[in-house]
Amino acid sequence: MKEFSLIDTYFRSVSFQRKDVLLGIGDDCAITQIPAGQALATTTDTLISGVHFLPDASPKAIAQKAIAVNLSDLAAMGAEPAWLSLSLSLPNVDEQWLQAFSDGFKELTEYYSVQLIGGDTVQGPLAITITAQGFVTADQALKRSGAKPGDFVYVTGSIGDAGLGLDILLDKVQVENPQHREYLLNRLHYPTPRVFAGTSLRRVASACIDISDGLLADIKHILNASQCGACLQLDKLPLSNALLESVDRDRAFHYALSAGDDYELLFTVSEEQKSSVDRVLACSNVPATCIGQINGAVGKVDLKLDEQSYAYSQTGFEHFSSAQPSNSAKRA
């Protein structure tokens, strides 16, 4: 099968068709139209087999996670997703794999009304790079740099689930309850980008990031960009029943603080806007939990449990780090 017919067969018709795409797949470039008054938000994320997902992961999960991690970046900016470009590196042409991958791709692009506008298909080690583009007005973009001392720290949904899901997959932890097990694995394989929550928070949040590397690692990006510190209350962390009933409390904190891959939004809100959080998030049906407060101790995170300091040193996963946390084996 030739490269071009491959693209034609599996990707030309997979995605939602948008009116602002004047020219889609099949020419040297896609041509798209930005709504008047909007700026363009662009993000790129790559997933590599054996690094970001296990080599035997299902093609549907790979496709949907690759989309989700990119839409999550748009969400963290408060941007409305519009278009995707896909670079797919494949060791060989496996039609069954491609069909499942493109089916998964189609499902999520339709759900989020985003259109695949182009890309590249090359022969090489299995890897997926997606560039996602979306809209936000320049003055409403949720930057990392807007947090101020006194702001409250929130996180959407629950955190730590994907980390435990990975350890289940790697046979490091046994979870007997089949519903918990399925829930945790789904949180790892099918993260939900908080797209609607992100756009809802535009006028409310002072800073925002998505949790990909772990709560501690990602809040530090906000703290560094905003030149401030934070105090987090561990007893406030939103932890799922599946997590709490599967491991002891300290291990649950560890997953929540360091495991990453949850793709929840971590955001800060000024005291004046605090009363708006629940209201604006109601329409997106995503709960948010206040887990602490910003302070002036630049770059520092104080962890408290029941008013006491909580000693914890593990930071989130970073590529190329010589000291990788043990829960990141999949990405080592």
301 makes contact with its own copies (CB under 8 A): no
Question: Does 267 count as an annotated binding residue?
Answer: no
Q: What's the CA gap between 238 and 235, in Å, rounded?
A: 9
> Which CB atom, from 54 or from 141, has the smaller least distance to its own copies?
141
DSSP lists the bridge partners of residue 88 as: 121, 128
Tell me, what amino acid is at 142?
A: L
DSSP lists the bridge partners of residue 23 as: 31
Question: Does 12 count as an annotated binding residue?
Answer: no
Interacting residue with its own copies among 92, 96, 308, 313 (CB under 8 A): 92
Rule CB under 8 A: which of 137-156 touch its own copies? Answer: 138, 141-145
Interface with its own copies (CB under 8 A), residue total 70
CB 41 within 8 A of CB 74: yes
76 makes contact with its own copies (CB under 8 A): yes
> Which residue is listed with tokens 């299902």?
58
Question: Does 44 count as an annotated binding residue?
Answer: yes
314 makes contact with its own copies (CB under 8 A): no
Helix, strand, or coil (residue 146): helix
| Radius of gyration, CA atoms only, the chain | 20
31 makes contact with its own copies (CB under 8 A): yes
Residue 32, judged by CB atoms within 10 A of its CB (0-12, 13-18, 19+), counts as middle
Backbone angles phi, psi at 97, to 5 degrees: -60, -45
Crossing angle of helices 95-111/59-76, nearest 10°? 30
The answer for residues whose C-beta is within 8 angstroms of residue 48's C-beta and 6 or more apart is 125, 126, 127
Q: Which stretch binds its own copies (CB under 8 A): 45-53, 163-171, 251-259, 278-286?
A: 45-53
Q: What's the CA gap between 152 and 136, in Å, rounded?
A: 24
Tell me, what amino acid is at 32?
A: T
Backbone angles phi, psi at 81, to 5 degrees: -70, 145
119 makes contact with its own copies (CB under 8 A): yes
**Closest distance between its own copies and the C-beta of residue 76, in Å?**
4
Q: Which stretch binds its own copies (CB under 8 A): 124-132, 176-184, 278-286, 293-301?
A: 124-132
117 makes contact with its own copies (CB under 8 A): yes
329 makes contact with its own copies (CB under 8 A): no
Interacting residue with its own copies among 12, 23, 170, 179 (CB under 8 A): 23
Q: What's the CA gap between 25 and 117, in Å, rounded?
A: 5
**Closest distance between its own copies and the C-beta of residue 225, in Å?**
7
**Closest distance between its own copies and the C-beta of residue 168, in Å?**
24
> Which CB atom, from 108 or from 209, has the smaller least distance to its own copies?
209
**Closest distance between its own copies and the C-beta of residue 116, in Å?**
11
> Which CB atom, from 5 or from 308, has the smaller least distance to its own copies?
5
Helix, strand, or coil (residue 219): helix
> Which residue is listed with tokens 């939900």?
192
Interacting residue with its own copies among 16, 18, 40, 304 (CB under 8 A): 40
Question: Does 9 count as an annotated binding residue?
Answer: no
Residue 26 CB-half CA count within 13 A: 11
Question: Does 120 count as an annotated binding residue?
Answer: yes
User: Which residues contribute to the annotated binding site for substrate?
Assistant: 52, 261, 317
- For its own copies, the binding residues (CB under 8 A) are 1-4, 6, 22-23, 26-34, 39-46, 48, 50-52, 73-74, 76-77, 79, 83, 85-87, 89, 92-93, 117-125, 127, 129, 131, 133-134, 136, 138, 141-145, 208-210, 225, 318-321, 331
